Each structure stands twice: as structure tokens, then as C-alpha cells.
């Protein structure tokens, strides 16, 4: 019998949306010892030779997902996007319905982090009754504070690596990647995690983000389907099929002004055309969509490889594989009738 997935209770997400006089600073709580911390004695239960370094030389950007809310439509407005310039969001480890903390680290990660941070064995266990590392009320390091401006986490730093894992556990509010934001455009998403490598690709032509946005936008400004897909992805809201293209053009311009980097990540997606074809096929009844999973209706085949979920991204990859070209061509032929 399949084991039922544990449900998370989102009780550890706090929003402080107050205005302040001072200019906010995005600060990553990082431990900065003046000397190399002493390594705690390795417990008999942990073989130092078998420790696996989970840290990596990588940086991840935590970016606010800006969406038009209420009457504030000007992207230059300080409150545009659903978050004021002085506001902050605080994330800690979610709790399960039985009151336990969600386990955000694997056993191997715990063993290595406890060793490298000089902690005693099982210091990162979620089951500790006293001095529980994950108790945000007692340990400020168990809280990740994010503001409207980008926050960068260095995954080679143990504390920041743990904070990264805390953010990943807050699935209701944090999209794990721009791809996840496209696959599951939840209205509850507040921030998205973006690798520094992906960020660098955005500026590969040496142009400013805005210049690239309008260069790319000029190629599709008369393409209603592409505009509709981009607006739906970046706003998290469905767009009616009979909407006028002028409305979509205005919305797209606003989105560029609001967050040019996010716009570029969507419009330069190599699978954009295939994803739009899937959306068209859903509207035409050729592909079935069930809870953000996609199936070829004729055979009820999930559009993904074995052991994958049939998300929009995986469905697009599936259809572009040479061995599935017949299915792709069949969909194109039916849509072009």
C-alpha cells in the first residue's frame, strides 16, 4: 500500500508589510567567526570518512514575484507587485499536522553540516525536545528574512545552505525555480529561486535587460497566443480566450517594466513554442489537464518519461524527443485543421 504523503501546515510564514523611514538592507544572517570553528567530536554513529559534502560552489537568488494587485498598476510605484519597499517576509520550517517540524535535510546533509558547523551529533534533528535548531522562536538562524529586493544565498556557506533548504520547504510561497513558476503559477507564490548561472545567461548579449525584453517582445507583439501564455505565467491568473490583443500588449509592457528579468526567463525559454502548443491542445480537447498534469487524451498517456510528473515543462520535453515526434506532428496537424 502506498504511503500517504505527510501534509504541511503553513504556520511558519510571517509577513511584515509596515513602512519605515530608513532604507532597508537585505541581510543574510551568516555566522562569521574570526577563526575556524573547532570541529565537535564526531559521534561513534558518524564515520568521518563517510561524510559527504553537501555544500556546493553555487549562488541562488531569491526574487520577489511581482504581480499587479488592487488599483496600483504603475510598475514604478513603490507598492507595485504586492509588496512595499520596506516590507519583509519571514520564512521558517513548516510544521506537519502532528506538530513536528518538516525534515528539510537528509540524514547525510545533517551529518556533514553538524560536523562542519561544530555541532554535536543530532543537533539538527527535528525530534529534539530541548534546544531544537528549527525552533524559530529560540534560534534566529532558523528564520530567513526576504525583502522586495533580491537576496543572494551562497550555498558553499553552511548557514546559508540551511536557509536555502528552509525556503525550498515553504512550497506554498516559494517557487523552486522559474520553471516551477511556469508549471504551477500559484497565486500564493511570493518568491522564486533562481540560479546565478541562469541569471548570467540573461545578460549574455551584453544588452540591458530592458533592451533585450523589448527586442524579444517585438518578435511576438502580434502573436496573441504567446502574449496570453506569458501574461498567464507571470500573473498567475488565467486569461480569457476572447481577450483583445491590445489588452495583452498593455499587460506585457507592464510586466516588462515590473520585472524585466522574470519576463526574459519566460520569453527566452527554448520550449516556449511547445508549451504554447500544449495549451492550445488543452483548449481544443486534444490534451487533458488534471491538476497541472498533462495527458494525451486519445490514449490517456501521461506526457512525461517514466518516474516523472507530467508537468508542463516535462510534457514539452517529452513531445520534443525524436521518439515522440509522431504524437507532436499529430497534434500540430489537428490544431491546424
* Domain 271-337 classification at class level: alpha beta
Each domain of the chain, given as residue ranges in start order, spans: 8-201, 203-269, 271-337
Task: Check residue 290 and give its pLDDT.
Answer: 87
Higher pLDDT, 91 or 211: 91
Higher pLDDT, 237 or 197: 237
Task: Check residue 42 and give its pLDDT.
Answer: 46
Q: How far apart are CA 246 and CA 264, in angstroms?
A: 21
Q: How far apart are CA 221 and CA 228, in angstroms?
A: 11
Task: Check residue 50 and give its pLDDT.
Answer: 80
- Name the pairing type of β-strands 95-96 and 8-9: antiparallel
Task: Check residue 45 and give its pLDDT.
Answer: 54
Collapsing DSSP to helix, strand or coil, 17 comes out as coil
As a whole number, the mean pLDDT across the chain is 80
- Do 158 and 55 contact (CB within 8 A), yes or no? yes
Model confidence over 8-54: pLDDT tens digits? 555 455 655 544 433 333 444 444 444 444 444 444 455 666 888 99
Residue 233 is inside which H or E element, if any? Answer: helix 224-235
Query: What predicted TM-score, i.e. pTM, was given to this entire model?
Result: 0.55
Q: Name which of 7, 73, 13 is nearest 254 in CA terms.
A: 73
- Do 326 and 275 contact (CB within 8 A), yes or no? no
Collapsing DSSP to helix, strand or coil, 328 comes out as helix
Please give the grid coordinates belonging to residue 181: 513558476
**Average pLDDT value for residue range 315-320:** 92
Q: Name which of 104, 95, 110, 119 is nearest 38 in CA terms.
A: 119
pLDDT interval class at 184 (50, 70, 90): confident
- Do 63 and 261 contact (CB within 8 A), yes or no? yes
Task: Check residue 72 and give its pLDDT.
Answer: 56
Task: Check residue 79 and give its pLDDT.
Answer: 57
Q: How far apart are CA 195 and CA 275, in angstroms?
A: 22
Amino acid at each position: 500500500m502506498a504511503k500517504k504523503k505527510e501534509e504541511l501546515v503553513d504556520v511558519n510564514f510571517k509577513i511584515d508589510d509596515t513602512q519605515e523611514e530608513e532604507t532597508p538592507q537585505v541581510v543574510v544572517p551568516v555566522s562569521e567567526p574570526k577563526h575556524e570553528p573547532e570541529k565537535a567530536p564526531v559521534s561513534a554513529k558518524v564515520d568521518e570518512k563517510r561524510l559527504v559534502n553537501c555544500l556546493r560552489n553555487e549562488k541562488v537568488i531569491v526574487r520577489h514575484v511581482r504581480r499587479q494587485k488592487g488599483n496600483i498598476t504603475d510598475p514604478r510605484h513603490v507598492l507595485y507587485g504586492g509588496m512595499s519597499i520596506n516590507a519583509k517576509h519571514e520564512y521558517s520550517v513548516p510544521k506537519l499536522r502532528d506538530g513536528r517540524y518538516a525534515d528539510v535535510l537528509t540524514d547525510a546533509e545533517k551529518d556533514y553540516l553538524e560536523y562542519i558547523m561544530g555541532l554535536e551529533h543530532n543537533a539538527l534533528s527535528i525530534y529534539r525536545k530541548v534546544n531544537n535548531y528549527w525552533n524559530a522562536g529560540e534560534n534566529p538562524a532558523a528564520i530567513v528574512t526576504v525583502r522586495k529586493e533580491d537576496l543572494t544565498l551562497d550555498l558553499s556557506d553552511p548557514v546559508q545552505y540551511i536557509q536555502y533548504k528552509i525556503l525550498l520547504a515553504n512550497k506554498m510561497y516559494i517557487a523552486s525555480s522559474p520553471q516551477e513558476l511556469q508549471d504551477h503559477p500559484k497565486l500564493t507564490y511570493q518568491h522564486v529561486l533562481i540560479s546565478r548561472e541562469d541569471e548570467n545567461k540573461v545578460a549574455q548579449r551584453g544588452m540591458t535587460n530592458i533592451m533585450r525584453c523589448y527586442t524579444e517582445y517585438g518578435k511576438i507583439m502580434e502573436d496573441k497566443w504567446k502574449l496570453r501564455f506569458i501574461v498567464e505565467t507571470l500573473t498567475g491568473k488565467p486569461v480569457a480566450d476572447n481577450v483583445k490583443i491590445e489588452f495583452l500588449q498593455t499587460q506585457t509592457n507592464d510586466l516588462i517594466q515590473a520585472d524585466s528579468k522574470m519576463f526574459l526567463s519566460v520569453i527566452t525559454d527554448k520550449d516556449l513554442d511547445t508549451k504554447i502548443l500544449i495549451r492550445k491542445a488543452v483548449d481544443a480537447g486534444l490534451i487533458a489537464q488534471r491538476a497541472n498534469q498533462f495527458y494525451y487524451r486519445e490514449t490517456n498517456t501521461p506526457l512525461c518519461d517514466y518516474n516523472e510528473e507530467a508537468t508542463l515543462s516535462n510534457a514539452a520535453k517529452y513531445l520534443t524527443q525524436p521518439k515522440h515526434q509522431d504524437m507532436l506532428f499529430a497534434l500540430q496537424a489537428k490544431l491546424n485543421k
